[in-house]
Structure 1
């Protein structure tokens, strides 16, 4: 561990064992009646990882699902131990991972925040003094004394980030902080991370949002099958990762294809990309114009996505993002994987429905990106770039993240 490093991975390997039950045929069961039909498979989640994080560093971690990002952050946060190698830390730790696991659903937001601050090393009096700052940042005043089990995932995220970033850690570990939440909340999170970085806090941020990593991180690492495939300046690493995804998608793409129905013209190589093993056959945004959400009322939105698989695919991911017309700012980026929704094996036409109880966005014109991706985000089956319109009518409005739910039919 170097003299400047506050977090160090020294040749870290991490292995997991997966148990799978194998259903025997009747013949096999009769021939081998005492055989154990439970298979055990080992795989390496991390392979010989070397990484130093110094005070004031902000390092992004990118890579597809299953690359080892969450395992890296969990080991950095002291959750689990490496199979080989060593993880060293200096100073206090603020981790959204460990907070999420230590939150107690039956306790209120206030009680969870107080307990987490005490576990971080504060006295009870010091922890109580931090509560006003935590509740102000999270904007959960109306819900702070409600049980955590009544919180949405976005509300829990707000509380976790507020606690982790308020206890003045030496190291802050953040996993997909921008996957949920409205644009003002995202900005507050980014501003808070920059403040902590300028004060000497080291930040390790795992994210699928490459634009975000490029904009906030000076350095980045690209994990692939547990190994560091690239390390260096964030723009260089993210650019290399993007190019690898583009090459893989292009390699798998057919030479020609009939255009799927759409409300907007789709042109291969311009605003439509993918292998088309699964096609987005139709998208319906209902309604296409909504009044701006207010604290006193809601403006629900429904996005229906018809998928047509040409071959069976296992556990594809559907993603939806929303960009503001004019400056292109991304105000929303959600996916079935990020929200814990499993599509299973897709072998027949399927409709995936995303429902927002309200959309916290300024009045104006917006465009939606909609895509269906391979289960580990390694390439896209069908991706429609800014092909669908949404109008938000009104003036400046609410700032609270949109409650939402998914359905697969």
Structure 2
């Protein structure tokens, strides 16, 4: 079976001086340049992609990993035919659905209901096909109450919900997803992950762009590390995530070696580089029992001395429910952050959470614990039950406890107690 996507030696160049791309605008700007005496050699170009090649088979998932400006979104726009390559060839076989930009394909003055039909029509569905899927789309988006409200009044989270619902519920041959899931809440992200996995099992192919390496690892088998418009490495998602993290670590070290000026590049002067969830032996947790110890360990790089600081660690359930809130400030644990690499951790012994899917986040806080400076999140982990009846939908956690029982005082007990008191006298 031929690949559903073939990217063959594709390059994409943008003219940095070209502010508009309609024919009259292009002619006008070229004319102005000619009158100023400029020539083609004076033009500034940016190569968003250079000689990029890859293929994607039916039912496969591929992540594009790299920093901002690497060319990831350009690849998606070429696949979606939003723009054309400067050179090379792009082949797409099958129906393609793209969730590339927040609100893309929606008209702000139309209601959610009207935009479902508009977006479905753009994606090539007939009115009858959209009607068949309408209830499923609305149910998945969870915004039924606002479906007849103009989209311009939607929050960014509501727009993402509706956009993903339309893009995924039509069951496309190819699904493109770019960063927009970062806008949704934790429960909806988990719902989207499950939906993507279902589509993959049914034969949909996926190209996924995200800076959340936990999401990448969850939904993608393979990955490409791209930077400066060129492919740096290809491999399994785990291999590419490790390579990319090593690159980021080297750059942090280089930034540190440049001196205090590097602090200006990072808001707050500190960044969280890793949030790990570990077992009693210090190994990363994928699954753990609720009666076992667990440690949330945070690593950070500070580009300047921050002095007195605080930290928050929270554990969230997959439906977005906050299940644990630990603050160094309230626990009377003083922290000081100095320039360099450092870390902190909090141990829960035992964990005590009921079975379910969870993740941890952290905030580095300022001296009076009033403002967050840097944020980080762990990958998802699963809590298992040793006995039935401790599922996440029943309760949140199981506290340590001691049971006691007082027996009622019967007539016989009362007589015996009185006799004992008489003997004591």
Q: Is TM > 0.5 for Structure 1 vs Structure 2? A: yes
Q: Equivalences for 1:238-253 in 2 at 5 Å?
A: 238-253=241-256
Mapped to 2, the partners of 1:68 and 1:17 lie a distance apart of: 15
Mapped to 1, the partners of 2:229 and 2:254 lie a distance apart of: 23
Q: Aligned pairs, how many? A: 293
Mapped to 2, the partners of 1:158 and 1:333 lie a distance apart of: 25
After superposition, give the CA deviation of every residue in 1:332-361 in whole Å (9 maximum; x if it has no partner): 799xxxxxxxxxxxxxxxxx978xxxxxxx
After superposition, give the CA deviation of every residue in 1:162-201 in whole Å (9 maximum; x if it has no partner): 0000112100000114312222211110111011101110
Give the equivalent residue in structure 2 for 1:18: 16
Q: Is 1:370 aligned with 2:374?
A: yes
Give the equivalent residue in structure 2 for 1:172: 175
Task: Indicate the SS of the match to 1:5.
Answer: coil
Q: Is 1:154 aligned with 2:181?
A: no
Q: Is 1:273 aligned with 2:300?
A: yes
Structure with the larger helix share = 2
Contact 1:182 / 1:332 at 8 angstroms: preserved in 2? Answer: no
- Relative to 1, partners in 2 of residues 1:276 and 1:169: Cα closer, same or farther, differing over 3 Å? same
Counterpart pick for 1:4 among 2, 5, 24: 2
Give the equivalent residue in structure 1 for 2:97: 94
Q: Equivalences for 1:121-136 in 2 at 5 Å?
A: 121-136=124-139
Contact 2:221 / 2:236 at 8 angstroms: preserved in 1? Answer: yes
Contact 1:77 / 1:97 at 8 angstroms: preserved in 2? Answer: no
Q: Is 1:203 aligned with 2:201?
A: no
Mapped to 2, the partners of 1:48 and 1:226 lie a distance apart of: 8
Gaps of 5+ in 2: 20-34, 261-267, 271-296, 321-338, 340-345, 364-369, 379-391, 395-425
After superposition, give the CA deviation of every residue in 1:197-227 in whole Å (9 maximum; x if it has no partner): 0111000000101122122211000111001
Contact 1:18 / 1:42 at 8 angstroms: preserved in 2? Answer: yes
Q: Is 1:49 aligned with 2:52?
A: yes
Contact 1:254 / 1:276 at 8 angstroms: preserved in 2? Answer: no
- Relative to 1, partners in 2 of residues 1:190 and 1:254: Cα closer, same or farther, differing over 3 Å? same
Mapped to 2, the partners of 1:261 and 1:88 lie a distance apart of: 45
Give the equivalent residue in structure 2 for 1:348: none
Counterpart pick for 1:234 among 224, 228, 237: 237
Mapped to 1, the partners of 2:167 and 2:144 lie a distance apart of: 18
Shift of 1:52: 0.6
Contact 2:100 / 2:180 at 8 angstroms: preserved in 1? Answer: no
Mapped to 2, the partners of 1:17 and 1:129 lie a distance apart of: 44
Shift of 1:115: 1.1
Shift of 1:100: 3.2
- Relative to 1, partners in 2 of residues 1:247 and 1:133: Cα closer, same or farther, differing over 3 Å? same
Contact 1:56 / 1:201 at 8 angstroms: preserved in 2? Answer: yes
TM score, norm. by length of structure 1 = 0.62
Gaps of 5+ in 1: 22-32, 263-269, 295-309, 311-322, 335-351, 355-368, 372-382, 386-394, 398-409
Give the equivalent residue in structure 1 for 2:22: none
Q: Which has the higher contact order (CA 8 A, sep 6+)?
A: 1
Give the equivalent residue in structure 2 for 1:80: 83
Give the equivalent residue in structure 1 for 2:405: none
Structure with the larger strand share = 1
Task: Indicate the SS of the match to 2:203.
Answer: coil
- Relative to 1, partners in 2 of residues 1:58 and 1:102: Cα closer, same or farther, differing over 3 Å? same
Contact 1:99 / 1:116 at 8 angstroms: preserved in 2? Answer: no
Task: Indicate the SS of the match to 1:136.
Answer: helix
Shift of 1:96: 0.8
Task: Indicate the SS of the match to 2:44.
Answer: strand
CA RMSD of aligned residues (A): 4.2
Mapped to 2, the partners of 1:333 and 1:95 lie a distance apart of: 32
- Relative to 1, partners in 2 of residues 1:35 and 1:122: Cα closer, same or farther, differing over 3 Å? closer
Task: Indicate the SS of the match to 1:11.
Answer: strand
Shift of 1:103: 0.8
